[in-house]
Homo-oligomer: A and B are copies of this chain.
Amino acid sequence: MLVPAMFQNLIGYHLRVAQEMSFQAFARAAGKADLKPGWYSLLTVLADRESMTPSELSRICGRDRSTLTSSLKALSHRGLIERRANPDDQRSYSVRLTENGRKMQERLHAIAVVYDRHLDEIAGKDKAVLIAVLGRIAATFGTPQHLEDAVSPLRDLPQ
């Protein structure tokens, strides 16, 4: 694989390439199963909660609220989520997974796990070091609010 000489020593370059390549592999696999990779984070966050409002989901997934409008419409139209009016606030509504939505989340997660096994094999004995360094990078460059928030709902998941 050809790497421009001037990038050879830049960690940021390798980080970006590796991330994009592995994500694209996941996206292609999901696409073949007619699954949108963009759904993965939404469904996975929802899978751990009774229900959430679009705004909460937006903060946790790190995407603008306006972006979720069409995603939620698509997910709802496909019967993967359902909306429920909030009796206390007529502006708002809550979203929760349907049974099909849960199955879809599991399918996507299964695909993600398969790709992560590839990553495990590639990393080999360096896996612990890799995860440690990546963790330090994430911590150093600051944790955006959306990821900070994302932690709380998922923190206590059964292993």
Contacts and interface: CB of A to CB of B under 8 A. Distances in A.
A82 interface: no
Q: Copy number of this protein in the oligomer?
A: 2
A85 interface: no
A53 interface: no
A28 B147 contact: yes
Interface in A22-70: 22-26, 28-29, 44-45, 47-48, 60, 62
Contacts of A44: 4, 6-7
Interface of A: 1-7, 9-26, 28-29, 44-45, 47-48, 60, 62, 112-113, 115-116, 118-120, 122-123, 126-127, 129-144, 146-147, 149-151, 154-159
